[in-house]
Amino acid sequence: MADTALDALIEALRRLPGVGQKSAQRVAFHLLQHDRDGARRLAHALDVAAERVHHCARCHTFTEDEVCPVCRDPERDARLLCVVETPADQHALERSGGYRGLYFVLMGRLSPLDGIGAGDIGAAELIERASDGTVQEVILATSFTAEGEVTAHALAQALRSRGLKVTRLARGVPAGSEIEYVDLGTIAHALVDRR
């Protein structure tokens, strides 16, 4: 339990991913000593976002509306449904400018060791959405971690059993890299997935 307002601030900052005790202290001291206006703006922005931002009724990304702008966009290709783990993943794909279909955000990935199953990530909602008669291809864009691979495999089986075309986000050697410096796992996958 925090003893002072400063302690409470440091503990609140520690809730951020990758922020430990020392980093939280540095941020708290910086805001209070050098940027009180920034601290007030940050507090206000967090308060407003926590109040207004919720999940899209169709894809589960973050939005202030019932349905997000991507889902409402008539220019998007509704035949393509890209499945990602988080709103941050969706944001990264959108920034690439290379995808014009719709999304489904799982809000996580399967992790049996942590007790996270299909029901916890919205697998049933995904299958229902993908089976709407409009979707022709589901692109699995989960991470390439062990949990992401398990999630992609389980979802692919469930979706294919519904007669849907399922593809996986490609992986391989990054553009501009020299092969001798690329890790062996990436090279192996690039060879297997070559076109």
pLDDT of 1 over the 80 cut:
no
Q: Quick one: 5-52 is in which CATH superfamily?
A: RecR Domain 1 (1.10.8.420)
CA distance 37 to 66: 32
**Per-residue pLDDT tens for 110-120?**
888 888 988 88
CA distance 152 to 170: 12
**Per-residue pLDDT tens for 145-179?**
889 999 999 999 999 999 999 999 887 778 888 87
Q: Where in the chain is the domain with CATH 1.10.8.420?
A: 5-52
pLDDT of 140 over the 80 cut:
yes
93 bridge partner residues: none
CATH number of 66-168: 3.40.1360.10
CA distance 59 to 82: 10
CA distance 76 to 138: 14
CA distance 65 to 57: 9
Q: Where in the chain is the domain with CATH 3.40.1360.10?
A: 66-168
Name, in order, each residue with C-beta under 8 angstroms of 91's C-beta and a sequence gap of 6 or more: none
pTM: 0.83
What's residue 119's pLDDT? 86
CB atoms within 10 A of CB 14: 15
Q: Helix 146-160 vs helix 123-130: angle between axes, to the nearest 10 degrees? A: 40
